Chains A and B, each alone.
Chain A
């Protein structure tokens, strides 16, 4: 999974929320903390994970993962792309 590909998908998924917060796609950079930006809450993040699994056909296994490392697009991509 490429970071820019995931970025495009996340921007599309969070579109309505971005609109409400007056954010443009240029604001949603790969290192943006989606939580701090108000784009997701813990439930919204679970929805995003499920959507990513479906769109990219991946199974996201969070065993042993610090959730704090997942709250940006690059963090998510890194997790999904990790070896093994």
Chain B
């Protein structure tokens, strides 16, 4: 199994299926079915063009909307043995220019609807990359042969938001992503005939699972249209999806629209969630809506390739295993190691909270062209073999090896000297308010030494402020109880669909001056 050549390169599994089952459906989008051979007919044109171009740049950028063209471009780049750098057309032009320059790409593959944007993005560059339009001028696809790639070469380069304000590049090698795909394809037993969701933006690493687990398995990729991304219930049913993967926020939106009714999704046999904490109530509701599905909560920073821990939900046992109403992130993937360390960097005991540090074949070597930050985040740990990525995530691990996510190290705040985990406050708020959208914000906003917390609630909550605060007081010491609640129809999500604490805080600050009296700030 370990020598399965399908996983030596990112496109290896796809190419194997082009050779072995060319007529099988690879993609269904906009009512059109694309066989593996037909999709290669598109992707291979990009491969041919890249192989014909002079030079041997390791990375090629893609600017295309989520859909057929972007998939063909990514596959074509991978089949040429290059790494891809996805650029999101929805991002601001300046941010795209910064990423493109940082990547060092000399070639940018451009979707039909992104031509004007691409020209704007490269306009200010001292060495503008050459643009490859996805059109009929491209040469025909070559035979679907596996590229020769080094395990250490970059398969994809993604940018995550950096704490310093500049996007931070994370290069993932063929060996990194191969280890993930080998594990996930086998664990979830995805196979021909499966119909897999595609919900993630291509700049979010979870999209790599969407595309390449599906195509390595010979299954059919079914992109959820942008217009139905938050309300995918009908799509899921009509497309008879068998495998679902999204952020928990999508499930929360379904719940709000009363679309998680029991047995709503009988075709699903797999439901995966990743990218943000999964509330236990949501897991239970989704499981009831998809009674035939194995439901798992996955966890993994971009630096450790898509996901590196998993927790299988069990309607009988899991509710009592949840901490603060959040589903555990579970156990490490095979062949990986974790250590939970104290602030001093030394391993803590079983059950003790600490920072999660991760090691193994999926863990990246460091940040892109950033040795300083790499040295801080990718470090040895005394007494352990290998290099560990310091996640900044606080967890505890029980005696059986199950990991419980507790929050971010950098979202820990001190109120009047007391240490406060915002997640714990938010769990109480969710419980009291009966909504999944709750954010606790240190107050005054932006103050180095906040004196209290306030709360922002989104979604439909019927509970009054008094009831919500009462629920908080029933669970939390006084200094952790928000002094005030602000309500919004929805709380802001970031580009990846996660609750965006910073945007919530900014909105609070913009709409509620710091000087506002505690009882006059409620939004009608």
The contact of A43 among B230, B257, B259, by CB within 8 Å, is B230
* B256 proximal to A (CB < 8 A): yes
Chain A residues whose C-beta falls within 8 Å of the C-beta of B229 in the assembled complex = 42
Chain B residues whose C-beta falls within 8 Å of the C-beta of A35 in the assembled complex = 227
Interface members, chain B 218-234 (any A CB < 8 Å): 226-231, 233-234
B256 vs chain A, min Cβ distance (A): 7
* B22 proximal to A (CB < 8 A): no
In the bound assembly, the distance between CA atoms of A43 and B252 in angstroms comes to 12
Q: Are A45 and B230 in contact (CB under 8 A)?
A: yes
Chain A residue nearest to B254 in the complex (CB): A62
In the bound assembly, the distance between CA atoms of A59 and B226 in angstroms comes to 24
CB-based A-B contact count at 8 angstroms: 60
Chain B residues whose C-beta falls within 8 Å of the C-beta of A41 in the assembled complex = 226
Q: Are B256 and A50 in contact (CB under 8 A)?
A: yes
* A66 proximal to B (CB < 8 A): yes
Q: Are A53 and B261 in contact (CB under 8 A)?
A: no
Q: Are B261 and A43 in contact (CB under 8 A)?
A: no
The answer to whether A46 and B256 touch (CB under 8 A), given A53-B460, A54-B489, is yes
Chain B residue nearest to A49 in the complex (CB): B257
Interface members, chain B 253-282 (any A CB < 8 Å): 253, 256-259, 261, 264
* B521 proximal to A (CB < 8 A): no
The answer to whether A63 and B489 touch (CB under 8 A), given A42-B227, A43-B230, is no
In the bound assembly, the distance between CA atoms of A82 and B508 in angstroms comes to 37
Q: Are A50 and B234 in contact (CB under 8 A)?
A: no
Chain B residues whose C-beta falls within 8 Å of the C-beta of A53 in the assembled complex = 460
The contact of A62 among B257, B458, B459, B497, by CB within 8 Å, is B257
* A71 proximal to B (CB < 8 A): yes
Q: Are A46 and B230 in contact (CB under 8 A)?
A: yes
Give the number of residues in B that approach A within 8 Å (Cβ atoms). 22
Q: Are B257 and A60 in contact (CB under 8 A)?
A: yes
Q: Are B226 and A42 in contact (CB under 8 A)?
A: yes
* A65 proximal to B (CB < 8 A): yes
Chain B residues whose C-beta falls within 8 Å of the C-beta of A48 in the assembled complex = 489
In the bound assembly, the distance between CA atoms of A83 and B233 in angstroms comes to 22
A77 vs chain B, min Cβ distance (A): 17
* B490 proximal to A (CB < 8 A): yes
* B112 proximal to A (CB < 8 A): no
Chain A residues whose C-beta falls within 8 Å of the C-beta of B497 in the assembled complex = 43
In the bound assembly, the distance between CA atoms of A57 and B490 in angstroms comes to 17
* B474 proximal to A (CB < 8 A): no
Chain A residues whose C-beta falls within 8 Å of the C-beta of B261 in the assembled complex = 63
Q: Are A67 and B234 in contact (CB under 8 A)?
A: yes
In the bound assembly, the distance between CA atoms of A42 and B227 in angstroms comes to 6
Q: Are A67 and B228 in contact (CB under 8 A)?
A: yes
Q: Are B489 and A51 in contact (CB under 8 A)?
A: yes
In the bound assembly, the distance between CA atoms of A45 and B458 in angstroms comes to 14
Chain B residues whose C-beta falls within 8 Å of the C-beta of A50 in the assembled complex = 256, 458-460, 489-490
Q: Are B227 and A62 in contact (CB under 8 A)?
A: no
* A31 proximal to B (CB < 8 A): no
* B493 proximal to A (CB < 8 A): yes
Chain B residue nearest to A36 in the complex (CB): B227
B102 vs chain A, min Cβ distance (A): 27
* A68 proximal to B (CB < 8 A): yes
Chain B residue nearest to A44 in the complex (CB): B490
The contact of A47 among B227, B228, B257, B490, by CB within 8 Å, is B490
B259 vs chain A, min Cβ distance (A): 6
Q: For the complex of A and B, list the 7 residue pairs with the smallest distance between their C-beta atoms, beginning with the closest.
A: A42-B230, A47-B490, A50-B489, A42-B229, A62-B257, A51-B489, A61-B258
**B interface vs A, CB < 8 Å?**
226-231, 233-234, 253, 256-259, 261, 264, 458-460, 489-490, 493, 497
Q: List 29 A-B contacts (CB under 8 A).
A: A42-B229, A42-B230, A43-B490, A43-B493, A46-B230, A46-B253, A46-B257, A46-B490, A47-B489, A48-B489, A49-B256, A49-B257, A50-B458, A50-B459, A50-B490, A51-B489, A53-B460, A54-B460, A59-B258, A61-B257, A61-B258, A62-B233, A62-B257, A63-B258, A63-B264, A66-B234, A67-B231, A67-B234, A68-B228
Q: A48-B489, A63-B264, A67-B234 given; name 4 further pairs at CB < 8 Å.
A: A42-B229, A46-B253, A54-B489, A67-B228
